Structure 1
Amino acid sequence: MTVISRLPGATEEEWDWQLRGACRSADARLFFHPPGERGQAHEDRDRAAKEVCAHCPVRERCLGHALETRERYGIWGGRTEEERRRLLHPRRRNRNRGR
């Protein structure tokens, strides 16, 4: 569940970047896997979604939004759920490396 207290205010300036997203001309189902999708089908869909993101003018803004709001599902800014989780919560050994 998205925690709405983390969402930016409802001003046009906060959301207008979405109008420039490369994903706007793609089927939204490309970015969200259906229940039970596994294996090659899952990898192929993720790869196709990331290809759309690779050419997106607002990719970094999209990823920033997903990280800030802790989006739990879908490809955002060219990153999967697991990839975003690793960005937010690096493994403990990486944090303790300098000690």
Structure 2
Amino acid sequence: MADPLLRDEGAWTVKANCIGEDTSVFFPGPDDDPQAAIKICNRCVVRDDCLNWAIETKERFGIWGATSERQRRRI
């Protein structure tokens, strides 16, 4: 079964550090610290691919490519 976080969005997803991680880490609540997700993303070899995907698809929720939705809107 594919990791629900990645939703089978491309070949790059099989190399992502978030595979097998608790998806709630990447979808922090308003009072939660996103640093755990960002730390995982910053060590990931497909961080740029992930970020590009999130920007292209206008992903509104979660940490993708070490960025929040607010940060992605500014890019």
TM-score (norm 2): 0.82
Q: How many residues of Structure 1 are paired with residues of Structure 2 in the alignment? A: 68
What per-residue deviation string (whole Å, max 9, x for no partner) do you get for residues 25-53 of structure 1? 3111100124xx32xxx22xx10000000
State whether structure 2 residue 25 is matched by structure 1 residue 30.
yes
Give, as a single letter, the amino acid of the residue that structure 1 aligns with 2:17. A
Higher helix proportion, which one? 1
4+ aligned runs moved over 4 Å, structure 1: none
- Coordinate RMSD, CA, aligned: 1.6
Match of 2:56 in 1: 68
Deviation at residue 76 of structure 1 after TM alignment? 0.3
* Cα distance per residue 1:48-90 (max 9 Å; x no partner): 0000001101000000000001000000000011110111xxx
Q: Which sections of structure 1, spanning at least 5 residues, go unmatched?
A: 1-11, 88-99
The yes-or-no answer on 1:15 pairing with 2:10 is: yes
3-state secondary structure, aligned to 1:25: coil
Equivalent position of 1:81 in the other structure: 69
Give 5+ residue unaligned stretches, structure 2: 1-7
Provide the identity percentage.
40
Counterparts of 1:78 and 1:31, CA distance in 2? 9
Report the TM-score, using the length of structure 1 for normalisation: 0.63
Q: Which has the higher contact order (CA 8 A, sep 6+)?
A: 1
Indicate the structure (1 or 2) with the bigger Cα radius of gyration. Answer: 1
> Matches of 1:63 and 1:77 in 2, distance apart?
4
